[in-house]
Structure 1
Amino acid sequence: MEKRVPHDYMYHAEIMYEGEVAMRYTCAVGNTMEELLNDIDKEFKEVQHRMPEIVEALVFPNGINKNITNLVNRLYYQREEK
């Protein structure tokens, strides 16, 4: 089976943000949901002036590969001030 992402973390989130010419992507990862949300905080802070947004989130990205984007967005934006 071909790997979808080049890591073995349990959670993976794709973050899209404005680039100078086109949209760019970065990712956040974690082995727990809290680790993932904290990594999303870190990535968002690095590109906060470029309108970052979570466009896809997966659990077991190299295995079962279940899409949990709605859950991650809800949990991320319902958290207290970051």
Structure 2
Amino acid sequence: MISLVQQLAQTLLANKLSIALAESCTGGLLAAHLTDLSGSSQWFERGFVTYSNEAKEESIGVAHSLIERYGAVSEEVAKLI
């Protein structure tokens, strides 16, 4: 995983970009891997762990009706996250 993170970091820095994440079932694991790399604050902006339905609605704007209709772990909701 470290080499993938290093490649991502190099690409982001070379293109003067940063990254932000919204996670659910991964519980922040992706953000943890990215921030394990020294210097990640240069390109890692922030991470949201939206594990609960309320967090999905409040933090990243997933519609309550969509969660009710398809379920929190559905493909439809995952695409919005």
TM-score (norm. length: structure 2): 0.32
Is the helix fraction higher in 1 or 2? 2
TM-score (norm. length: structure 1): 0.31
